[in-house]
Structure 1
Amino acid sequence: MKDQDIVGEALASVLPQNDRAWPFVPHLLKLNLVLLIPLLSSAVAGYDGSLMNGLQSIDEWKTYFGNPSGSILGVMNAAQSIGSVISLPFVGVLSDRVGRRLTLLSGAVVIVVASIIQAASVQYGMFVFSRVLVGIGSMLVTQPSPMLITELAYPTHRGKYTSAFWTMYYLGAILASWTSYGTQKHLSQSDWSWRVPSIIQAGLPIVQIIFWYFVPESPWKEEAEELLARYHTSGDASHPLIQFEMAEIARTIEMESRASETKWSTLVKTPGNRKRTFIAVCVGVFAQWNGVAVVSYYLTLVLDTVGIKDSDTQTLINGLLQVFNFIVAGSAALLVDRLGRRLLFLWSAVGMLISFIIWTACSAVFDATNAAALGQTVIAFVFIFYFHYDIAYTPLLLGYPTEIFPYSIRSKGLTAELLSVYGSLIVLAFVNPVALDNIETKGYSLEEIADVFDGQSAKTMNPALIKAGLEDIGKKEEHVEHAEHVA
């Protein structure tokens, strides 16, 4: 794809003419290596968000915490999202005031502390508190990172980086799921089967802390020209690309100063901003309220409903699913510029709808027949459903809103989207286990379903009437047979 098709003709006209691929251009190689640190924030969130799915398949974890279910399990799963929502009002301001870089560092430190508390948990309350801290830390690393990447990335790489950001979520999910599988397999008789995955949760944030020093701040201060020149044109501050980018930054700052576009009300002040905010909030809600949260948090319960209750098998399926997700999402991220955002969103929505309908139908028939083939079909459609989710919502969940908000309100716009994401997750994480434990029509005959809706007035459910009716039918049949015999 040509540069002008990626960044537009105006910017493409001032790009340096590199006849070598970026790995062989020293300043671009250095820049892309540095950007791996904020890119890793998504993997941090992936480990944090997927860990609970793995822990629920570990027998020792369930035993240690008294086989949590219903609202108790819901609180344990929702705790991380609650922590994220708690930090949302402050993370945008913190990111703007002290910078993206320091905000990222503070989040990594919080997750390390939270991981230690989680691994050392001796009671339900301590575990829930640690998950709330994980949510706070996860938000502090997740919110500034896509902005840092967008504002530092080389122009022709920006689209791929923003799309790849949330794709890296599955790298963390893979680590969490396979760690849980390994400890369930080899430490199944010990508390360490769930404490080890909790400790390893600190691994990726520690990597970020170690290499944080090398990450530059976003080019929004006086040193912007020198910083952009160092990473985009190998130190040539007079290059037309740097002049173009500095002009963009200056124009943005002037607009900020003139219009005072720093308040939260700015998100809904103009028709354009209202449209941006509406799209961002909808993307956040749609990314969760499409059925994906059922599998993301309660794959164990889903597998239970189709007869797969062995812990080793459950953790293995979870591990394979995360690898599959990473491959699909990574491939989709590379195709975003070629296929376009709108097409991917539409394709994703239609595919998920069809997949979920078939998945639900097979689950219902399995419940009535216990046919093994239907259980296997459900598992297949879990993967098919995720395929359609991954082609759009994984690469574009944060990438698309980051692109549509202007510099002046990008931080607050992204915060608004994340509020919609984690607000939706809190509801789903709490409600789903209660719903899965209380499916009103599960295992009921058509006559028994009437009792669920009509209560005691449902005469079809009266055992005495049913028995009397059956006896009456039997007597009538005997009478008919006797009459035929006499005739």
Structure 2
Amino acid sequence: MSKELDQSHSEHVHDTNNEKKDAVQTPDAIATALNNVGAPSPWGKGHLKLYMACALIYLCSTMNGYDGSLMGSINVLSEYQEYYGLGDTGSTSTGLVFSIFQIGQMSGALFTWICDWRGLAPTLSSFIAARFLLSFFSTINTVAAPMLLVEIAPPLQRATVAGTYNTLYYMGSIIATFTMYGANIHLSGNIKWRLPLWLQMLCPGLVVLGSWMLPESPRWQVAQGKNEAAREFIIKHHANGDAEHPIVAIEMQEIHDSLVEVQGRSRWACFDLRSLYKTRARRYRLMLVIAMSWFGQFSGNNVSSYYLPLMVENVGITSTNMVLLLNAFYALSGWVAATIGARLHDIVGRRKMLMGSCLGMSIALAIVAATAAEYERSGSTPSSSASIAFIFIFGVVFAVGFTPMQPIYPAEVLANDQRANGMMVFMITSGCAGFVNTFAAPVAMKNIRYWFYVFFVFWDLFEFTIIYFFFVETKGRTLEELTAVFEARNPRKASTKRVSEPEC
């Protein structure tokens, strides 16, 4: 088999200038082959070992979730506000403290060198600088993690295995919010907000300790000339040890074909951004990355994540303990919903899940706006309760559709030689969207209150329209098979044609 693959590879070396020859397999090659022999068991020994490695990678996702819920919870503590002289929760300073994380995220996507460590004084500007550094270095981690997951995940379980990554965002939120709730009850003074900040080191520390045991991507191994190592990985983890299973030959062939164009490139080629836009198909891929990264941060979710305490305060909930407890249960409900959504994306498909989520979010926010307006007018307790309920429903709907796919869908739609630079664009774009949200939100909620939700009602409907007309369906296809989809005259239409698929 190795000789056949090497021979096939040599036959394609001279086609490096024609991207359309990158994909020899038809878009449903794996589906057709596996219908004849059956798919490898997702509970086989090789799959289970791969899941254990993925579980460690998932911890990278807790970093952003921890920060989002931590800062929203800390911001309601009087000790924290007095220590840094913040005062008003709707101030520009609050927006800057929150949004500096997105600025660090955008910077971290561009630079990878190590900053000198220096001591910092206990001032607000020092705290903001520390949050910038936190985001800067966590970005490098959170870019690499979904890329690795997408490349090592079994093709038929890619959305479930890789999509579970971003659900751990909520695990970080759960740790942060319940820590804050317990600290507020049992501790006093500045330690009640310092302790949760220190615990932010927990999950990154576990990743550092276990990272030496993680497998390499088979695509990276083939690119480095380690064909046998890549084949062994696919046999062990995708075929459960069956070297004769057709999925082994198909995946190896597709990886070889997709890497033909990048063979012989210099090590500096990764800085050449032309790979992102040099053909129509690549521009389409880039458009999807930008759209998904913006939608994932600008659907109203960042506002509810960082400013949930302020949102519930606007509808009459002012007890600090109750606000912290609601924040904790918001994170818990989001994690359950996102975990279910990760599996549903492999069953229902990416497009239907994302479109359904957009409609659900729009309806939920419309009800939040209406009930919040009624509470402001009459002080009605039922209106306040309904507002809180639909804030939670909004979070659940977003978590089911968007959370599993936020970093995974961009990594899926990018070509192999686009993926690193494309994920850089993903992080910069999502950072821009998150910055606009978190910086403007406190001022907007203070001044225009429930009308801020009305804006997202219509924006989420706009997202639905873009997804319907342009987003491709990636369910059931390998990363290499998607090349044929993007080369089609209408990629969205080509991706939604019915193909015969084995059960995942």
TM above 0.5, yes or no, is: yes
What's the secondary structure of 2:109's corresponding residue?
helix
Q: Alpha-carbon deviation of 1:302?
A: 1.0
Match of 1:74 among 72, 88, 95: 95
Change (3 A) 1:86 1:336: same
2:66 touches 2:175 (CA, 8 Å); kept in 1? yes
Q: Distance in 2 between matches of 1:134 and 1:150?
A: 25
CA distance in 1, matches of 2:250, 2:284: 28
Q: Would the aligned equivalents of 2:30 and 2:250 in 1 still touch at CA under 8 Å?
A: no
Query: How big is each residue's C-alpha offset from its partner over 1:368-414, in whole Å with a ceiling of 9 and x where there is no partner?
Result: 21112211111001011112211211111112111111111112222
Quote the Cα distance in structure 2 between the aligned partners of 1:441 and 1:353: 14
Show the counterpart of 2:52: 33
Instruction: After TM superposition, give the deviation of residue 236 of structure 1 in Å.
Output: 6.8
Say yes or no: does 1:248 pair with 2:248: no
Pairwise CA distance, 1:292: 1.7
Deviations 1:241-282 (A, max 9, x none): 433333222212212248998521222221111111112111
**Looking at both structures, which has the greater relative contact order when contacts are Cα pairs under 8 Å and sequence separation is at least 6?**
2
Q: Identify the residue that residue 332 of structure 1 maps to in structure 2.
A: 341
* CA drift at 1:171: 1.0
Instruction: Tell me the distance in 2 between the aligned counterparts of 1:253 and 1:282.
Output: 26
2:427 aligned residue: 418
Query: Is the contact between residue 58 and residue 180 of structure 1 (CA under 8 Å) also seen in structure 2?
Result: no
TM-score normalized by the length of structure 1: 0.78
Aligned AA for 2:138?
S
Asked if the contact 1:73/1:433 (under 8 Å) is kept, the reply is yes
1:10-409 equivalences under 5 Å are: 10=32, 12=34, 18=40, 22=43, 25-69=44-88, 70-90=91-111, 122-187=122-187, 189-219=188-218, 220=220, 221-230=224-233, 231-232=236-237, 233=239, 240-257=246-263, 262=270, 263-409=272-418
Q: Secondary structure at the match of 1:140?
A: helix
Q: Distance in 2 between matches of 1:82 and 1:156?
A: 36
Structure 1 position 76, deviation (Å): 0.3
Distance in 1 (CA, whole Å) between partners of 2:195 and 2:304 is: 23
Contact 1:229-1:242 at 8 Å conserved across structures: no
Q: Is the 8 A contact 1:225 1:242 kept in 2?
A: no
Q: Identity over aligned residues, as a percent?
A: 29
Amino acid at match of 2:397: H
The aligned counterpart of 2:30 is: 8
Instruction: Report the counterpart of residue 483 of structure 1 in structure 2.
Output: none
* Structure 1 contact 293–429 (Cα < 8 Å) conserved: yes
Deviation, structure 1 residue 234: 6.1
1:21: Cα distance to partner? Answer: 5.5
Deviation of 1:224 (Å) = 4.7
Gapped runs of 5+ residues in structure 2? 1-25, 452-504
Preserved contact between residue 275 and residue 417 of structure 2 (Cα < 8 Å): no
How much has 1:68 moved relative to structure 2?
Answer: 4.1
Retained in 1: the 8 A contact 2:181–2:325? yes
CA positional deviation for 1:314: 0.5
**Runs of at least 5 residues in structure 1 that lack an aligned partner in the other structure:** 95-105, 443-487
Count of residues in Structure 1 that have an aligned counterpart in Structure 2: 414
Alpha-carbon distance in 2 for matches of 1:256, 1:323: 44
Q: Return the offset for 1:126.
A: 1.6
Q: How far 1:417 sits from its partner (Å)? A: 1.8
Distance in 2, Cα, partners of 1:37 & 1:10: 33
Closer, same or farther: CA 351–26 of 1 in aligned 2, 3 Å:
closer
After superposition, the CA RMSD in angstroms is 2.9
Equivalent residues of 1:81, 1:426 under 8 A apart = yes
Q: Deviations over 1:344-365 (max 9, x none)?
A: 1111111111111111111112
Q: Tell which structure's C-alpha radius of gyration is larger.
A: 1
Tell me the SS of whatever aligns to 1:307. coil
